[in-house]
Structure formats: C-alpha cells, structure tokens
Amino acid sequence: MNTLFQNKKIIVAGGSSGIGLAAATQFEEQQAQVTVTGRNTDKLKAAAETGLLTAVIDSSDRETLDTFFKNHGPVDHLVISLSGSKGIGNFEALSLQVLREGFEEKYWPVLNTVQAALPFINKGGSITLVTAISATAQLPGTSGLAALNGALEIMVPVWAKELTHIRINAVSPGVVDTSWWNFLPEQEKHETFKQYAAQIPAGRVGKPGEIAHVILFLAANEYMTGKVIGCDGGMS
C-alpha cells in the first residue's frame, strides 16, 4: 500500500460527491486523515458512512470557514472541489444575472476557502483547485463557464509566486461522469456523453477517480506549483 500521505491532514472542500469524494477516498486509502466539507447533509452522511470525517460548511460563508479552520488546526493539503453549473449558454441569450450567480456559486466560495485556509496550511503543504476545461476549450455555449473557471486558473501562477511557503496548483477536468450533469434528463445526458465521446481522442468521458489521481499527484510532487494540469482525454 502506498503510504505517501500517511497521517497527513487533508481537507477536501466539496468532497461529498464526484471528483472531490474520489480524491478524499484515495487520500484515505493512503492512510491520510481526511475531512470532507459540503452543504448537502445527505451526501455528507453517505460519505461519513465510508469512514470519512465530515463537516457541514457553506463555503460562501466566510465566518463559518474561519471558525472551521481555526477549530480544525494545521492542514497539510487542501483540495477545493466546489462545483457550479450556472452560466451555460450562448452569450447572446445568456442571462448576466445567472452568470453573476455562477460566480457567487463557485468563484467567490473558492477564494473564501483559499484565504481562510492560508494561515493553517503547513509549510511545504499544498492547495489544489478543481476548475474545468471550459476555461480554455473555446466551446460554443461555454463563455460564461470559461470566464468563471478562467478567472480562477489565471490566479494560480500568481498565488504560487506570492505564497512561496506552500504550493498551489489546479486540475482542469474535461467531461467527467459526475452528478454535475444531472441537470440533464438521464437519456439526454447519455446522448450528450455519447456525442462528446465521439470527439474525445480517448474515446469516452472521464471518471472521477481519474481526475483524483491528478489531484494526488499535485499534492505529492514537491516540485509542482503554479500549474494548471488538464485531464480531459485529449479533448482540448
């Protein structure tokens, strides 16, 4: 068994499902002390039943975040896998209010979490963001998502030069089979995945565990900082 993260304290914000949960599970398999946070109490309960520590945290609430990190204490690695789906659609008809809500749903909570966590990240520790390939893929109908995720990705190398006592990176997933897509009816989601699979060199959509592998790599590799790593099956 790989014990690279043995006894390391890991927090996965947004770790109650999808990519975040896959990463939390892989950290735990390496004997890390993992705490996942999220807003959905049902998902957190399910995560707790697997043995993970959980905390109900709304990452848009800075006061709650500050209290959580203060009570939790030192952290070795922080993963931020907060999701957001608002902002999809061709720009001509895109509601800018909905796009604003998309930033409130993901961008500001990510920044809140990073800033609240910084005093508690151990020297040599890391922060890994989960963004999205929409930031760079230049696909029609995704300009809003590109703005949201691109705004996060463009900050990563700057943060890395400011925060030299820790490392900060991001993984940018392509199309991954997670609950993010549940805004589509099941049959439509199936057809959408099929269409994407025909365009992706890997020939299929991704799995949460495959993105989680990259997250663990970024947390482990002490020479990686300021980078955004795409994991998209060759889509971009």
The CATH number covering residue 124 comes to 3.40.50.720
Note whether residue 194 is domain-resident: no
71 band by pLDDT with thresholds 50, 70 and 90: very high
Q: Are 171 and 130 a contacting pair, CB within 8 Å?
A: yes
What pLDDT, on a 0 to 100 scale, did the predictor assign at position 46? 93
The residue assigned the tokens 């805004």 is 183
**Dist CA 35 CA 27 (whole Å):** 10
Residue 130's domain comprises 9-180+207-231
- What is the distance, to the nearest Å, from the Cα of residue 28 to the centroid of all Cα atoms in its chain? 17
Note whether residue 192 is domain-resident: no
Instruction: Output the CA torsion sign for 199, 203, 207, 210.
Output: negative
Note whether residue 113 is domain-resident: yes
- φ, ψ at 121 (rounded to 5°): -80, 125
What pLDDT, on a 0 to 100 scale, did the predictor assign at position 181? 74
**How many H helices and E strands in the chain?**
10, 7
Q: What is the pLDDT of residues 167-181, one digit of tens each?
A: 999 999 998 888 777
Q: Name the 3-class secondary structure at 13.
A: strand
1 band by pLDDT with thresholds 50, 70 and 90: low
193 Rama class: left (phi>0) / alpha (psi -120 to 50) / beta? alpha
Q: Which token pair is 4? A: 């690279």
Q: Name the 3-class secondary structure at 149.
A: helix
Note whether residue 20 is domain-resident: yes
197 band by pLDDT with thresholds 50, 70 and 90: confident
The residue assigned the tokens 């604003």 is 100
Q: What is the pLDDT of residues 109-126, one digit of tens each?
A: 999 999 999 999 999 999
Number of structural domains in the chain: 1
pTM, rounded to two decimals:
0.94
Note whether residue 190 is domain-resident: no
Q: What is the pLDDT of residues 6-53, one digit of tens each?
A: 999 999 999 999 999 999 999 999 999 999 999 999 999 999 999 999
Note whether residue 58 is domain-resident: yes
Q: What letter does residue 131 receive in the DSSP assignment?
A: -
Q: What letter does residue 107 receive in the DSSP assignment?
A: I
Q: Is the pLDDT of residue 234 over 90?
A: no
Q: Is the pLDDT of residue 68 over 80?
A: yes
Note whether residue 185 is domain-resident: no
Amino acid at 100: R
Note whether residue 193 is domain-resident: no
Q: Which token pair is 183? A: 């805004």
Q: Are 17 and 43 a contacting pair, CB within 8 Å?
A: yes
